[in-house]
Structure 1
Amino acid sequence: MLINRRRWLQSLTAGVMLAAAVLAPARAEDKPVLVFAAASLKNAVDELAAAYTKETGKTIQVSYAASSALAKQIEGGAPADIFISADLKWMAYLSGKGLTKKETERPLLGNELVLVASKDSTVTATIEKGFDLAALLGDGRLAMGEVSSVPAGVYGKASLTSLGVWDSVKDRLAQAENVRAALALVSRGEAPLGIVYATDARADPGVKVVGTFPADSHDPIVYPIALLDASTNPDAAAVLAFLESATARPVYEGQGFTVLDAPKTN
């Protein structure tokens, strides 16, 4: 009786181990692909992630934040598979540290920089050299991404400097951790004006565009994409291809992005 019990337990243990061995690869293959994406991409990438799941049955998990914050997280060992930055600087930062698969780096999207106010605001603006932004602010502050690291903030500061108005507003900023946070300050009425991307303004019915910054007043706004070197997810390359595909193009364009038909960055 004792021998039979031992044999039964041995058979059960062997069966459990066999099942685990069979299921382990399946679990690895079914692990969601983790995309780190600039906050301004949320609407477009959420839509694409849902479309990919509907088409393949597989999941894309997305983490949104400022490109600077995401790059630092990747540098710190965050297990992301794909990175989409809102500027070339932070992709180059990771590339220079050997943290991307260089052959997959390419510019994906373009955008515009705009000045927004709440939807009920009566403010109008002509954005040109020397325009009186300080007067437009009244007693309020200018919402924008953190100007030393968040791409939208960096572009915004560069544009205001080029137009000769930075000094008049540099002490009147409401700096945010990412561009969507800056957008929210305007949408909620906590700041009278903000500098965001055109795509962000389109995504929030609580704001309206009161002016577009001249393209030559800041560096071109380019969103590069790449696989990350530490990625071992077998589905990552397929997700990258989907995010770059003709299927994705109308989704990006529907959100106001320009799709860049450009060669890879490396």
Structure 2
Amino acid sequence: MATSNKSLRVLVEWMREQRGQAGLTYRELSSRTRFHATTLQRAASGESMPKLGTVLAYARACDASPETAKSLWKRARYEETLPRGGQRLSAPRLELVRDFADLGVSLVELYRRAGSPSFRSMEERAGGFGALPRSTARRIVNRQALPHNMEQFLAFLNVCDLPERERAAWVGAWSRAWRLAKQDAAEAAGTSILELSDPKGIEWFSGSSRNSERAGAILRRLAHFRDGEMVTVDVLPAISEQTPSPRERPRQAC
């Protein structure tokens, strides 16, 4: 096999082994799938990265494990997407994710390990209308944006085939990143943040802002994760020292 992709070599060798154990010719293999014999033979040649659908059909026709085939394909696809000769951003361990930069790199790494699915397929698999638009998925992968809210964040994790047992750790990373962003915004605005004990998770802001315009730009569209709910918050106008406190005259954030 003329390939420098070690994971692709492992995938191809596995595919060939499955066909050998099944005792099938490529013509017989083709009769069990919707793919031409030439397409199946090319998929197991190692000359190029085969499509996932072809690999899965190949495995099923050989009565082999589709799960194993998909796992091997993802590894091969991941290795193929690594930059050649360029510097690759290293994602921190999930428990060390602290801010938006860390979270963004980690999401890109998760996407690549999922086999870099097309943005169209991500949108379709996300389910409901607007759950994860392909344009948003593209911006997340290109590190131009982060998910808008928890629902979209979880949709991204789901379409990247994240196991359920790993979800809590990702939610923890998301919460830490948002918490730090709020703290930085509050410091930039010279604002004290009071988190009131409200059943709906209402967030309140009070204090005298040194730079309310900057604070507004930073805090706008921030979200706070509490008790499994994502509450969108915004900065309130600067409050003078004479203004009654939020406990006396509360004002709900947007």
Asked if Structure 1 and Structure 2 have the same fold, meaning a TM-score greater than 0.5 normalized by the shorter chain, the answer is no
Higher Cα Rg, which structure: 2
> Larger strand proportion, structure 1 or 2?
1
The structure showing larger relative contact order (alpha-carbon pairs under 8 Å, at least 6 residues apart) is 1
More helix by share: 2
Bucket of the pairwise TM-score, normalised by the shorter protein:
under 0.3
